[in-house]
Structure 1
Amino acid sequence: MITAKFATECNIAIRNHVPIFPRWKDYKDKDLIFKDFREKVGLKFDTDITKAPYQRACVTMMKKGIRQQRYKLKKKYFDPFPLHLVPTTSPIPHMTDEQWGDLVNSWKEHKKLETCQGNRANRGKVQLHQTTGSRSYDIYIETLGDKYNDEPPNALELFKECHYSKKRKAFTPAVQSVINEIERKITDPTEDGEQPNVTEAVSAMLVRKTKKNRFLHNVGIQNKTGTSNAMRRELEAELIREKQGSNELRALVDKQRQQMDAMAKQMQEAEAARAKHDEEMKQKQAETDALLKRLISMIPNNT
């Protein structure tokens, strides 16, 4: 509870008092900002703000909070607008217009825009979105309380809990499809007539549907039955994905190289056409000058 309150007070102090710079290293020589932040948070707790553990905790929370606040500002004041319509004055009182301008210019950098576009595309590929919010899996599971009084929840039940949208009161189509496949798999008996292992079924399905199967590890379930097979399948699937990624990257590089070669060829052709045009213009100008000279020479000199 104290940790949660400390994190909350740190976030409040960042939102209300700390300017947001483009990079964390921009704060390195800003001792006054760190001091002001430690003092404002320390007012809420009975602690010695000069102690090293407290100062290290403040730096850690400040670093995380600034990154989150930078993301929120970008999402609210930068992403929805065309570049020429992004606000030029600071929308928050504790940042000057100059500081806001530096932050906006960092977002406008070509490399930054490409990185954000790539991250946005990668997020769009995620099918199984967790619904635990900002809480970690273990903390979220603790909030379930006495819901599973008789025995701890199995892997499928935890998967449902962590992927159920309380806002929509339903699973997403992708999550519902995975749940249906797992339930169908665990209800069909194996070749030796035994009931399939729920944890192994969930693990095998997540290996197929996710790039990195970490859910069972994050919720604290150890897959004892068929662990080696699941790990082998996961490694094989990861190798296939890496190979596919390498092929896609190679194809992308080849395509870009072809485009660059085509652009270079077009530039050479344009340069040759321009040189030819200049040469023709010079020749025409020389012919015109020669004609004018002949005409002038034909005019009688009355003087």
Structure 2
Amino acid sequence: MRRLVAQTRLHPSDLVLPMFVIEAAESRPIASMPGVLQHSLDSLRRAATEAAEAGVGGLMLFGVPEVRDATGTGATDPNGILNVATAAVAAEVGDAVVVQTDLCLDEFTDHGHCGVLDAAGRVDNDATLERYAEMGLAQARAGSALLGLSGMMDGQVAAVRDALDAQGHTDVAILAYAAKYASAFYGPFREAVDSQLTGDRRSYQLDPANRREGAREADLDVAEGADVVMVKPALSYLDVLADVAATSPVPVWAYQVSGEYAMVEAAAANGWLDRDRTIAETVLSIKRAGADAVLTYWAVELADRLTRGQLPGTDPR
């Protein structure tokens, strides 16, 4: 009866798995995110195949280079780690899942910001757009089907869309991180990508105090040509997610970020929470708030549970 009358449903294809890849022969565990790895190319291929077999909808790839510089040249190098990994995963599972790539400079710059800095050390929005356009073309050529624009620069969607269309990549989709807030919940992600950031990104990410701004940013990205819009983080911004979902003409996704993952894993390890039920409840709440798909580090685990008929949110206990 509970299953019959459930208002919110979750399917493996609603889940996207974020994955990190490094320039190393062996994968490495991420201490602050138990169970999540910095993958080698070989382990990335294996994990991508496992995710595809579980039925997840997509894979979001993040590259972690050994060498960084002021403008993030590794991001546009065809032999850079992210572009090489994209080609490898697209060849391995591109017919089964949507291969997606993070389009941002923070992993590739020696200062850790999401864009190019000016002489005063501030992020130069327009100079960054030029790099994003180059990066979008490099990722499209490598085989990415969807570009995740996460840098929060003004005009980034239009700049990348124009560059893609001019070079014939009209079938490459754009996921706009439209409402990305300056959040404390990104902490473990900094370890995952070996971030070089000092300071913060409050000059270009959204103020956590502002709700309407998130919906306005989503509207702007849709007008510039975004195919999907994102709210990030998820759990502490469910109100923003619901606002965006209520009016968006394009699909709306949400990112269950590293800090959300780490908190649940830490509490469960201490016996303070029922891990399986908490994972299912958090992801279901994101769907209930209006997300059409959820980026979560538990994507494969949840997909397996769904396939086995262990429906989240329906346990009557």
Q: Which has the higher contact order (CA 8 A, sep 6+)?
A: 2
Which TM-score applies when normalising by structure 1? 0.27
Q: Over alpha carbons, which structure has the higher Rg?
A: 1
| Greater fraction strand | 2
TM-score by length of 2: 0.26
Of Structure 1 and Structure 2, the greater helix share is in 1
